[in-house]
Amino acid sequence: MHPSINQYIPTDWNAIRDTTVALTRTPIEFGQRHVHQLKALGLETGDMIDIINAAAFFNWANRLMLSLGAPEVPRRFRNH
């Protein structure tokens, strides 16, 4: 991340970023530290579950699409 962009991002987002990065890079890295950081923001259990589920879903979807490769557009739908 460009150093100057940090001035525009509230520090509260660091806990959310750290949680999603841990879940995405190496899920086993996710742990109590991340839960405590999210609780410190005042997030409720449902909010934390939403963050975790969203990170897990998009991580899975991105890895699935990377393994499937680029889609082939049928010839009849291509611009001629």
What is the chain's pLDDT, residue by residue, as a tens digit (80 residues)? 566 677 777 778 889 999 999 998 888 889 999 999 999 999 999 999 999 999 989 988 888 888 887 777 888 888 76
Q: Is 30 exposed, middle or buried (0-12, 13-18, 19+ CB in 10 A)?
A: buried
Residue 7 pLDDT: 74
Give, as one character, the DSSP assignment of residue 71.
P
Q: What is the DSSP letter of 73?
A: P
Cα–Cα distances in angstroms (integers) from residue 2 to residues 13, 15, 78, in the given order: 16, 18, 38
Report field, pTM of the whole predicted structure over 0.75? no
pLDDT of residue 1: 54
